[in-house]
Structure 1
Amino acid sequence: MTIQNHQMASHPFLKTLRGDDYYPAGSVDRCGQVLLRLCERIESDRPADLTALYVLTHAATEEINDLQDDDGFDIETVAREAIAEEFWVVARAYGFEDADIEELVATRDW
């Protein structure tokens, strides 16, 4: 599926983590792919409200939790904030300006 939202289709996910040798490029790429799939899910499922959006973001957060476990991706303070910020950018891009950044990633273990 191609992302229809032009802002998200061209968004450089996790730009702050890319190019920093501390963060493995493959792990950052996989995390970015999770965020792209989240955009696809939002476009295909069209959440009616914040509660429905949170269901989708929690599932994506669980995928990132798994990346941390499988890849050994160290999601420390800088990465944690960058990833949470990307969830918030996605929510806003799809019209959920009132989304709570902490609730978007409430299921995180990072």
Structure 2
Amino acid sequence: MYEDSYSPDHVVDQGRAILLRLCDRIEAEQPPNPQALYALTQAATEEFNPLEAEFEAAGSEIETVAREWIAEEFWLVASAYGFADADTEELIAGRDW
């Protein structure tokens, strides 16, 4: 999203920070199964929800491309921690964007 001038870097930075915190939680809690992982990713998704207002305040939005990018990033995190079969929609089930 950094390459897209439509996405303000300072808001993208906030999303990146959420994903990094998610990684920290996964490493600390080591979820034993997808359901435990989904609990962590859904908490991170809830952190992402208010970013829609941040994007709008900066003259942008979480549009289709951004939604797909964010979903892909959640899947990449899950995959990196051994959950390559995780359902992307479950990873971000609580999204408002």
**Structure 2 spans left out of the alignment, 5+ residues:** none
Return the TM-score normalized by structure 1.
Answer: 0.81
The one-letter amino acid of 1:77's match is: T
- The runs of 4+ residues in structure 1 deviating greater than 4 Å are none
Cα distance per residue 1:74-97 (max 9 Å; x no partner): 111000000000000000100012
Residue aligning to 2:66: 79
Residue aligning to 1:90: 77
The one-letter amino acid of 1:23's match is: S
Identity of aligned residues (%): 59
**Structure 1 spans left out of the alignment, 5+ residues:** 1-16
Which of the pair is proportionally richer in helix? Answer: 2
Determine the C-alpha separation between the residues in 1 that align with 2:34 and 2:3: 34
Aligned residues: 94
Aligned partners of 2:78 and 2:84 also within 8 Å: yes
Q: Secondary structure at the match of 2:17?
A: helix
Cα distance per residue 1:29-68 (max 9 Å; x no partner): 1101100000000000111110000000000001010222
Given the alignment, which residue of 19, 22, 25 partners 1:35?
Answer: 19
Q: Secondary structure at the match of 2:38?
A: helix
Return the TM-score normalized by structure 2.
Answer: 0.91
